[in-house]
Amino acid sequence: MASGFPSGGGIGGGSENHHCIHVLVNQHQWRRHKPTDGRKLDTEFCGDIIKRNKNLGLVEYKFLLKAMVSSGIGEETYAPRMIFEMDEFFHDTIGKLLACSSVKPDEIDLLLVNVSMLAAVPSLTSRIVNHYKMRDDVRMFNLTGMGCSASLISVGIVSNTLRAQKNKVALVVTSESLSPNWYRATKDP
């Protein structure tokens, strides 16, 4: 999901220390990426991945199946096969967002990308800045390793930054990339 966040002016009748931040997250200002069906990660496929690990005994196999079922992976779950497919997600989602908004890539002042379990080199923000030819002075933040809470943390960072720097535009891109993180050991994590 990608969202745009432009900062706003003061709230009428209130203290000068309070400012309004307009968050453009409605059906017209956010976009999602839907991969092809070839990237579906249904429960049968996940079970096959677990079965491939020949180090597992029956106890570990049952543990991983239970973890998979309780994780929320369903028949409509998708996953990238490799890191380069993250670019496809970003280009599709951000491209759709920019196309439906009045914001141009060179108007973005702050770019924040969060992915739960992926730390890419070059950074995901650098890849986006270079692809969209954004300005050199764009403030970039990469959040990784924070799990699902990263989306809320991202909104907090953007909110605080926009309070301090008026009339700026921020883009938050959030994704889950779990493909390299299958647990292959024989002990509970």
For the chain, domain boundaries: 2-36+79-175, 41-70
pLDDT at 65: 79
* Mean predicted confidence (pLDDT) in 72-100: 75
Q: Is the pLDDT of residue 173 over 90?
A: no
Half-sphere exposure at residue 2, Cβ-oriented, CA atoms within 13 angstroms: 22
pLDDT of residue 138: 96
Rounded to the nearest integer, the mean pLDDT of the chain is: 74
Number of H helices, E strands in the chain: 5, 6
For residue 170, the cross-strand partners are 5, 110
**What fold characterizes domain 2-36+79-175?**
Peroxisomal Thiolase; Chain A, domain 1 (3.40.47)
Is the pLDDT higher at 48 or at 25? 48
Select from 8, 2, 178, 4 the least CA-distant residue to 108.
4
Confidence at residue 21, expressed as pLDDT on a 0 to 100 scale: 43
The answer, yes or no, to whether residue 135 has pLDDT greater than 90, is yes
